[in-house]
Amino acid sequence: MKPGIHPDYHPVVFKDTATGEAFLTRSTMTSEKTVEWSDGNTYPLVLVDISSASHPFWTGARRIMDTAGQVEKFHRRYGQRKGGK
């Protein structure tokens, strides 16, 4: 690897603002905010809106689609087509 061309890759704590869950990983992201982790070290803190702790796909809290309601909404918006010629 060429020296001096790669970004600084260091430990960072990412915290989900929706659930409060935090995890330590390595990243090139930086932040002015810091947090003391359970190992006693202080790491940069990056706040994220969605993570696997709050995303509906990973939590299993998916929305149930009302397909009948969607069809009615479509017919109200565009009307029903009349039969062919």
- The CA angle 53-56-62, to the nearest 5 degrees, is 150
Question: What tens-digit pLDDT sequence spans the chain (85 residues)?
Answer: 788 899 999 999 999 998 899 999 999 999 999 999 999 999 999 999 888 787 767 677 666 666 677 778 888 888 877 665 5
Predicted confidence at residue 83, as pLDDT, reads 61
Residue 51: CB atoms within 10 A of its CB come to 17
